Structures are given as structure tokens and as C-alpha cells.
Amino acid sequence: MFETTRPAAPTHALRGPALTFRADPFLEGLEAAMVYESDAIVAMGAGKITHFGPADKVQAQLSPDLPVRNVGPDALISAGFLDTHVHFPQAPVIASFGTQLLDWLETYTFPAEGAFADKDHARAVAKIFLRESLRNGITTSCVYGTVFPQSVDALFEEAERLNMRMAAGKVMMNRNAPAYLLDTVQSSYDDSKALIGRWHGRGRLMYAITPRFAPTSTDEQLAAAGALWREHPDCYMQTHVSENLDEIAWVRDLFPARKNYTDVYDHAGLCGPRAVFAHGVHLDEDEMCCMHGTGSAISHCPTSNSFIGSGAFNLSRAKRADRPLRVGLGTDIGGGTSFSIMTTLGEAYKAGMAHKHRLTAGHALYLATRGGAQAMYIEDKVGSIAPGMEADLVVLDMKSTPLIDYRMGFAKDIHEALFIQMTLGDDRAVQATYVAGELQYEKAMG
């Protein structure tokens, strides 16, 4: 007998306005890429979406007994958000005053990360981090741990409890940081490999090989990270690139043989599909071509780029039609200042304006959903609403504050309504978050 995989029967559904993307609007245009239904049904079963479409059409395919939650006309159902770059151990140092990248690392970040040798501390912060992510509609993240493998165990254990699709990794760094945070070429390789064995592909969890950034790794450690990735090519590789001008000058001094910052990574075998590079604010044309050619992705982290004074990422240049990059959105907590994707999108708009680029709300919401999934090569699993996709969903409240409610009274179409949300919205805009079909956060519950 042949086994056939039939889609599971739906067990529950949401009904209300819904927004999703079926393509990249930067490449195909918003008209072709964005799907808005003013009255949709999204049905779910066994963790996946089973039905999606206009309510009048989908209803006929469903049992009249199926529990349907009507989210109401002032809500919007979207795919859950993806945060493609974030440091969970930096939740305790979000909002730290007065420094740019290298001083910020030394003054606030490294000391905070030192505390994660203690797994109980790591677990407590992981819980807060995941709760805050869900409060903001984030259902998938690409997360930095610390150098201590137990910090990554703590995060994965908590994410597994919530059944979240999550990538994370142990920081590899063997120089230019306090001694209490350093590993070695061998220990970083061994510890990362052991974590891959424990976690990668377990349920919805995925491992990210995580050299912190070029200045904190020797050539040998970067080569070891590259070798490990070649042994486990379906893992992620995450690091930082070209964030801050002093950092870039330092990389030039440390790696004089390499033609640019990106080449340091490429030389070590660290560019390719499932490589997620944070920031990339100052990438030159040659580096953009390398990112495009190797299928690497950039995580655009606008609140961090402005808060620690790194500059304004030029998104329209990154998406240039002749060599478009995969770009997701990152909160970059704790260099970033908000878990809110709405706030992050508003800041992405402002970064665009610094380059005379007008980021529409549709393009912005694509970055936060399907664009992030495309950056992580999981657009066949999450990031959009369609039958067969995993049922990670966020329900937005489109009238979450008195000011938004007032301003929405003047919105003439869905595009303007979405732009109001991304300019004025914050965590209050998230009404409910579903992970693999289960309600994991509801505003009414706090």
C-alpha cells in the first residue's frame, strides 16, 4: 500500500481581514505580490494552515461545526513576524546610554553576556525574551546566544516548549573580548558541533553557526566555522558585517590581505545560502555583488542602526533589480531599542527617507514576513498564509490606541491604513499570536 500525505483536517479557524504576500514586491511589484482579503477565513489543523481565502468561498469547504473565531473588522490577520537578527542575552542591556558599537560592546554588552555562564540566569532571560517576542507577533527569530553553550540550550528548551520555529547558536569568539568570554578554535568547533547534534532539526528548531564578527575571531576560528558549516550545510551561519565605520577600519587592519569586510567571510567559506549577515550598512558594490552571488542574506536592523549611530541602511540599493539581495528585518535587541515590529518598520521607513527611498507599508510588511522567511530560506514553511504553511499567525488590532483610532478615520485604503500602523503602532497593535496553530499570546490576557 502506498502512504499518501493528505492535508490534516482543520480543527479551528480565524475569520476577518487578512494580508499576505505570494512574491517579493521589490521584484514583482506590490500589485502582484500582496494579497489582501477584507473578509477571509484561515483554517488550521495539526499545526498547519489547511484553508485560506475569501470567507464566502472557504466557508463552503468547512464543516459547519468548525470553531471559527471572528477577529472583527478592525483586526488584520497576518503571517507571524520573523526577526532575522536578535541577541536574547542582551535583553537586560536594551536602552544603554551614550556609546557607539565598539564602546557599547565593551561597556554594556560583554559584561551582560558574562552572566550567561549561569544556566538559570540564561533560562530566566530566555523566558522574558520569548514572551516579549510573542507579545510583538514574532514567531520565528534568528538568535544569538553567548559563548556559553548552556545559554543556547536554555533558549532552545524554552522555544521547544512553545513549539516555535527558531534558529540560534553559540557565539564563537577567541580574541578581542574579555578573557571570561573567550573560547578557542577547538572548543568553539566542538561546542557548536555538539549543539548541532542536540538541537538542529529537532521539532522546529534550527542551529546557526555564530562567529560573532570578524574582529573577535582569528582567521583560524573563521576557517573552523566555515569547515563546520560545510559539514552541516543545512544549518544557518549568522554574523555581523559592515555595521560601523570604526569597526570597518579595524577589520581592514586585522585582515590586510582581504579586499573588503565581506571578503573576510567569503574567504573563510562563510557566504552562501542560509548565511544571515546583520546590518551591512556600509557595504560597497563589490560586497553587494558577493552577497547576491552567494545567496547570502542581510538583516536590516533600523532601530539599532540609529540608536548606536551606525548609519542608515540603503534598502532600495540592496534590492536593486540587477542583483537583488535577500533582506529580512532584525530588531537586534539590545543594540536595537524595540521588540515591536511595527516600531521597527517605522524606523525602516525613516532609514529609507535618509536615502530618498519611500518604503511603502506593503513592502515593509513583506520584509517582516515572507521577506524574512526568504532571507532564511524557509518561505516554504513560514512567512505567508497559504494551505500547507505552518500556522504561525499574528492578529493585529488596527485601532490599538486613541490616536491610531482617530487617524484611521481618515485612511482611504488598506495601504494608508497599514502605513498608519507602522508609523504609530507598537506592541499594543498585537491582539493575538498563534504558533503552529496554538494561541500563545493574547492581549486581553496580558
Binding residues vs ligand GUN (CB under 6 A): 87, 101, 105, 109, 212-213, 240, 243, 304, 332, 335
What mask of x and - would describe binding to Zn ion in positions 242 to 281, judged by CB under 5 A?
------------------------------------x---
Place of cell 536574547: 88
Is 83 one of the binding residues for Zn ion (CB under 5 A)? Answer: no
Q: In whole angstroms, how close is the CB of 112 to ligand GUN at the nearest point?
A: 10
Instruction: Please say which residue, 171 or 222, places its beta carbon nearer to Zn ion.
Output: 171
Instruction: Please say which residue, 25 or 215, places its beta carbon nearer to ligand GUN.
Output: 215
Instruction: Please state, in angstroms and rounded to a whole number, the distance separating the CA atoms of residues 226 and 232.
Output: 10
Instruction: Please state, in angstroms and rounded to a whole number, the distance separating the CA atoms of residues 322 and 335.
Output: 32
Rg (CA), the chain: 21
Instruction: Select the binding partner of residue 213 from Zn ion, ligand GUN, none (C-beta < 5 to 8 A, by kind).
Output: ligand GUN
Is 158 one of the binding residues for Zn ion (CB under 5 A)? Answer: no
Q: In whole angstroms, how close is the CB of 63 to ligand GUN at the nearest point?
A: 49
Instruction: Please say which residue, 101 or 164, places its beta carbon nearer to ligand GUN.
Output: 101
Beta strands in 1-150 (DSSP E): 12-21, 34-45, 48-54, 68-70, 75-79, 81-87, 138-144
Instruction: Report the residue number whose CB is nearest to ligand GUN.
Output: 335
Instruction: Please say which residue, 50 or 303, places its beta carbon nearer to ligand GUN.
Output: 303
H/E segment holding residue 421: helix 414-424
Instruction: Please say which residue, 204 or 240, places its beta carbon nearer to ligand GUN.
Output: 240
What are the cell numbers at 54?
A: 475569501
Question: Under rule CB under 5 A, which residues in 184-243 are in contact with Zn ion?
Answer: none
Q: In whole angstroms, how close is the CB of 304 to ligand GUN at the nearest point?
A: 5
Question: Under rule CB under 5 A, which residues in 287-346 are in contact with Zn ion?
Answer: 332
**Number of Cβ atoms within 10 Å of the Cβ of 202:** 12
What are the cell numbers at 83?
A: 526577526
Instruction: Select the binding partner of residue 200 from Zn ion, ligand GUN, none (C-beta < 5 to 8 A, by kind).
Output: none
Instruction: Please say which residue, 101 or 367, places its beta carbon nearer to ligand GUN.
Output: 101
Q: In whole angstroms, how close is the CB of 75 to Zn ion at the nearest point?
A: 32
Instruction: Please state, in angstroms and rounded to a whole number, the distance separating the CA atoms of residues 337 and 422.
Output: 15
Bridge partners, 48 (sequence order) = 45, 390
Q: In whole angstroms, how close is the CB of 164 to ligand GUN at the nearest point?
A: 22
Is 113 one of the binding residues for Zn ion (CB under 5 A)? Answer: no
Parallel, antiparallel or unpaired: strands 236-241 and 205-211: parallel
H/E segment holding residue 440: strand 438-442
Instruction: Please state, in angstroms and rounded to a whole number, the distance separating the CA atoms of residues 136 and 430.
Output: 6
Q: In whole angstroms, how close is the CB of 334 to Zn ion at the nearest point?
A: 9
Q: In whole angstroms, how close is the CB of 39 to ligand GUN at the nearest point?
A: 42
Q: In whole angstroms, how close is the CB of 101 to ligand GUN at the nearest point?
A: 6
Q: In whole angstroms, how close is the CB of 243 to ligand GUN at the nearest point?
A: 5
DSSP code of residue 60: G
Three-class SS state of 52: strand
Bridge partners, 279 (sequence order) = 241
Backbone angles phi, psi at 123, to 5 degrees: -65, -40
By CB under 5 A, how many residues form the interface with Zn ion?
A: 2
Instruction: Please say which residue, 16 or 330, places its beta carbon nearer to ligand GUN.
Output: 330
**Number of Cβ atoms within 10 Å of the Cβ of 326:** 26
Distance between start and end Cα atoms, the chain: 50
Instruction: Select the binding partner of residue 270 from ligand GUN, Zn ion, none (C-beta < 5 to 8 A, by kind).
Output: none
Q: Which residues bind Zn ion (CB under 5 A)?
A: 278, 332
